[in-house]
């Protein structure tokens, strides 16, 4: 007889006792969290911080929440974002500079370690939906392709949904977009009205809507990395017209008016003094009429860009309000660093020239004045506007002076802020304080271990006391600063800062006053508790206090992996970490699939052969064979009316070579050869049929976030006016071959300028 123990306890569901797994659930009543990070927006550029630039939606958040006028960041993008998301000092999590350059020192790996799990991972594990849109710039160079690894993509850092761009910058009309882990084309073209700010708002709304319709009671964390107001300052002409003539009296007058408004609205103390105009920023009165026309138009475009971005942010806020979620949504708005001066003394019509350290003239830019802000430009304003945008402080992005490190901070949360609506909190705080503040607001304790990895202590402290009372004291009294060799330290109301000048931009090298050598750096001392804009150097009066602060800086530097210091580009070369799978010296590509990102292509800087194996159509060949980048910086090979053309845009300067005879049906390959020193040739079946000598060499990267290699058609903006995308090839393409001289390290100075231009 067969024994069937079916009747034994536990062998059927009816007789078994289960132990359902407890899934993570947020605390009852926990808030949604939205963190909005503006880019290169200075302390004085928002309406609620004294500007006359119209930002009604951000002003509305400020009026219903809190403004912090003593908030600090790291002076550059990737480091600030790492600090914001992890609550740790940027060197302590390997982000001493930009994600684009990984060095073999703990503070500069460009890889946030597993021991520093950040807000998205912690909140996801605690029961929040996590989503990110926009700029990321926390993935090291060499890992920004579909081959991964994805540990430092948004998904690897705890975000469940992502839509945006991995690099530090993007063309607002034709960005290099990523959805999840896939590179995609924008949903519309420029002619169809596309702008990246609109797209990011659309996606943010879509993420929130889908999440709330699927799980209404589940809170969400939305990270909104806006492209604005990073260069290029792209905006449609109709937007800029609202500011026509508003800035004709220049940056001196604008800065003075802004300072007066800052005092009137309480973001600057009544007894504060305005820091003086430095020698390297010319007075507006000293400029000729042509320069004034150009520079005032640059600021009209910038102002419109910011106002447009504000409107898109307002759409997201309004949608959250429509859902009935606004009162219990903690919204944090900040900028990653002060206003940018990377346009130089006269600005730039095409910021790709920054990488090659190429000057631009007022005369040249005035000729293309009508193109500024549009798809034919990659524009950045003159640095006088950056100086004014950081009113009342000195200097700008990249420097440890307040112009680089003190930016606007707004916190809006009606259900969670007891302080008077619209108040100004003056407690010293830093980007590292935001993560603990958000965790505190969510009722979450930072874990001591994640996935079995012990966690680094969080360096920041919660600002919850300030949310309850705007007059509450600062939760910490010490913070160091270092960026590219510029150094500063804050302690208990005092700040010491070096006069070090960075070796980044030609105009700064030539014009800025200060030290170019660490050995000759001079420290200045300011009592910022009573001297808001650092106008009175107390170094000679209080040498002992200054020495104590300098000693404190070195102690903090040792504790946070800041050392070794370096302010040169070439000095970093021996420490550069090569990717595990670097781009090959030669490669073959096939039609179909996504664009190939710039990072994955062979380094074409030192010469290349690009060959396209083709089969022309029965009615004659026509269309784009290969494109890379666009007319701001790009390369293309195409056929029009039977004539093949190889085209290159070197920072907007276009060079084309065309076959003298029509391409016959028997042709099997068309290509481009570029060789030393600057020979650019069109090749048909391996033979040069036309060529030109270029005035300078190829770039290290074509757009540093622009469109990658496309085969058989183009998209977005063309490389040259000789064709209109998509202009698909009418025949067949077998393969594209790119051959280079061999593996050579890229020039670090160009790599870093690329990164800084896009940061």
Q: Which of 428, 433, 432 is nearest to 463 (CA)?
A: 433
The SS3 assignment for 482 reads strand
Alpha-helical regions (H) of 355-416: 362-367, 383-389, 402-405
Kindly report the number of other CB atoms within 10 A of residue 737's CB atom. Answer: 16
Q: How far is residue 83 from each of residues 132, 399, 409, 613, measured CA to CA in Å?
A: 17, 17, 15, 48
Q: DSSP readout, 329-341?
A: EEEEEEESSS---
Query: Alpha-carbon distance 235 to 305, whole Å?
Result: 6
Kindly report the number of other CB atoms within 10 A of residue 628's CB atom. Answer: 26
Kindly report the number of other CB atoms within 10 A of residue 361's CB atom. Answer: 10
| In contact, 560 and 107? CB cutoff 8 Å | yes
Query: Alpha-carbon distance 456 to 476, whole Å?
Result: 18
Query: Alpha-carbon distance 374 to 240, whole Å?
Result: 11
Pairing between strand 643-650 and 409-412? unpaired
| In contact, 229 and 336? CB cutoff 8 Å | no
Q: DSSP readout, 147-184?
A: T---TTSGGGGT-SEEEEESSS---SSS--EEETTEEE
Active-site pick, 72, 90, 91, 137 = 137
Query: Alpha-carbon distance 226 to 200, whole Å?
Result: 8
CA 746 to chain centre: 22
Query: Alpha-carbon distance 739 to 586, whole Å?
Result: 4
| In contact, 662 and 623? CB cutoff 8 Å | no
Query: Alpha-carbon distance 381 to 240, whole Å?
Result: 14
Query: Alpha-carbon distance 82 to 84, whole Å?
Result: 5
Angle, alpha carbons 400-747-227 (nearest 5°): 50
Q: How far is residue 363 from each of residues 233, 295, 380, measured CA to CA in Å?
A: 20, 12, 16
Known catalytic membership, residue 491: no
Query: Alpha-carbon distance 247 to 382, whole Å?
Result: 13
| In contact, 106 and 728? CB cutoff 8 Å | no
Active-site pick, 48, 77, 172, 429 = 77
Query: Alpha-carbon distance 39 to 60, whole Å?
Result: 20
Q: What angle do helix axes 434-442 and 77-86 make, rounded to 10 degrees?
A: 30
Q: How far is residue 453 from each of residues 86, 448, 456, measured CA to CA in Å?
A: 15, 8, 9
Known catalytic membership, residue 380: no
| In contact, 417 and 380? CB cutoff 8 Å | no
Work out whether the CA dihedral 93, 97, 101, 102 comes out positive or negative.
negative
| In contact, 306 and 197? CB cutoff 8 Å | no
Alpha-helical regions (H) of 170-231: 196-214
Active centre residues (catalytic)? 77, 137
């Amino acid at each position: 007889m067969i024994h069937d123990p079916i009747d034994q306890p536990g062998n059927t569901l009816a007789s078994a006792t289960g132990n359902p797994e407890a899934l993570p659930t947020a605390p009852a009543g926990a808030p949604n969290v939205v963190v909005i990070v503006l880019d290169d927006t200075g302390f004085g550029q928002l309406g609620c911080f004294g500007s006359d630039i119209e930002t009604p939606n951000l002003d509305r958040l400020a009026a219903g929440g809190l403004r912090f006028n003593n908030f600090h960041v790291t002076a550059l993008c990737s480091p600030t974002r790492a600090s914001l998301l992890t609550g740790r000092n940027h060197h302590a999590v390997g982000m001493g500079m930009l994600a684009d350059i990984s060095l073999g020192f703990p503070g500069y790996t460009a890889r946030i370690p597993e021991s520093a799990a950040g807000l998205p991972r912690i909140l996801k594990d605690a029961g929040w939906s996590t989503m990110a849109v926009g700029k990321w710039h926390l993935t090291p160079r060499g890992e920004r392709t579909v081959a991964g690894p994805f540990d430092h993509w948004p998904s690897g850092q705890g975000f469940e949904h992502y839509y945006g761009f991995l690099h530090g910058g993007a063309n607002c009309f034709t960005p290099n977009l990523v959805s999840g882990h896939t590179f995609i084309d924008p949903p519309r073209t420029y002619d169809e009205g596309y702008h990246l700010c609109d797209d990011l708002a659309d996606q943010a709304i879509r993420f929130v809507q889908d999440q709330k319709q699927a799980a209404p009671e589940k809170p969400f964390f939305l990270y909104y990395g806006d492209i604005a107001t990073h260069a290029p300052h792209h905006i449609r002409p109709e937007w800029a017209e609202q500011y026509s003539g508003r800035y004709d009296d220049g940056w001196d007058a604008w800065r003075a008016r802004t300072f007066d408004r800052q005092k009137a609205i309480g973001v600057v103390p009544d007894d504060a003094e305005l820091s003086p105009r430095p020698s390297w920023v010319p007075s507006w009165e000293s400029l000729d009429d042509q320069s004034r026309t150009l520079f005032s138009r640059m600021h009209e475009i910038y102002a419109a860009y910011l106002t447009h971005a504000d409107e898109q942010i307002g759409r997201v806020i309004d949608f959250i309000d429509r859902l009935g979620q606004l009162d219990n949504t903690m919204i944090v708005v900040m900028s990653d660093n002060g206003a940018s001066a990377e346009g130089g003394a006269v600005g730039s019509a095409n910021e790709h020239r920054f990488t090659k350290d190429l000057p631009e003239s007022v005369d040249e830019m005035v000729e293309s004045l009508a193109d500024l802000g549009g798809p034919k430009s990659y524009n950045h304003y003159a640095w006088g506007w950056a100086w004014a945008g950081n009113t009342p402080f000195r200097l700008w992005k990249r420097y440890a002076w307040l112009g680089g490190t003190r930016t606007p901070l707004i916190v809006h949360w009606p259900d969670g802020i007891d302080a008077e609506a619209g108040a100004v909190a003056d407690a010293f705080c830093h980007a590292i304080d935001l993560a603990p503040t958000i965790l505190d607001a969510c009722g979450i304790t930072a874990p001591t271990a994640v996935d079995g990895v012990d966690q680094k202590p969080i360096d920041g402290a919660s600002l919850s006391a300030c949310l309850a009372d705007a007059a509450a004291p600062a939760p910490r009294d010490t913070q160091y600063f270092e960026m590219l060799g510029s150094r500063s330290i804050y302690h208990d109301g005092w700040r010491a800062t070096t006069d070090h000048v960075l070796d980044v931009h030609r105009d700064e090298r030539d014009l800025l006053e200060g030290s170019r050598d660490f050995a000759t750096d001079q420290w200045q001392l300011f009592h910022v508790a009573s001297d808001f804009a650092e106008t009175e150097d107390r170094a000679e009066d209080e040498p002992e206090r200054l020495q104590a602060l300098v000693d404190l800086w070195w102690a903090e530097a040792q504790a946070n992996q800041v050392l070794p210091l370096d302010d040169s580009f070439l000095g970093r070369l021996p420490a550069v970490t090569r990717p595990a799978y670097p781009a090959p010296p030669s490669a073959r590509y096939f039609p179909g699939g996504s664009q190939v990102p710039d990072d994955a292509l062979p380094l074409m800087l030192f010469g290349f052969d690009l060959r396209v194996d083709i089969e022309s159509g029965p009615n004659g060949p026509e269309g784009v064979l290969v494109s890379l980048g666009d007319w701001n910086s790009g390369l293309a090979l195409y056929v029009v009316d039977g004539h093949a053309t190889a085209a290159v845009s070197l920072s907007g300067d276009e060079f084309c070579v065309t076959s003298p005879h029509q391409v016959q049906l028997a042709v099997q390959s068309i290509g481009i050869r570029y060789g030393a020193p600057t020979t650019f040739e069109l090749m048909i079946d391996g033979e040069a049929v036309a060529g030109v000598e270029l005035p300078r060499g190829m770039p290290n990267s074509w757009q540093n976030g622009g469109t990658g290699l496309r085969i058989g058609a183009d998209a977005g903006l063309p490389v040259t006016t000789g064709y209109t995308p998509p202009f698909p090839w009418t025949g067949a393409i077998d393969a594209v071959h790119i051959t280079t001289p061999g593996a050579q390290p890229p020039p670090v100075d160009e790599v870093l300028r690329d990164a800084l231009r896009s940061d």
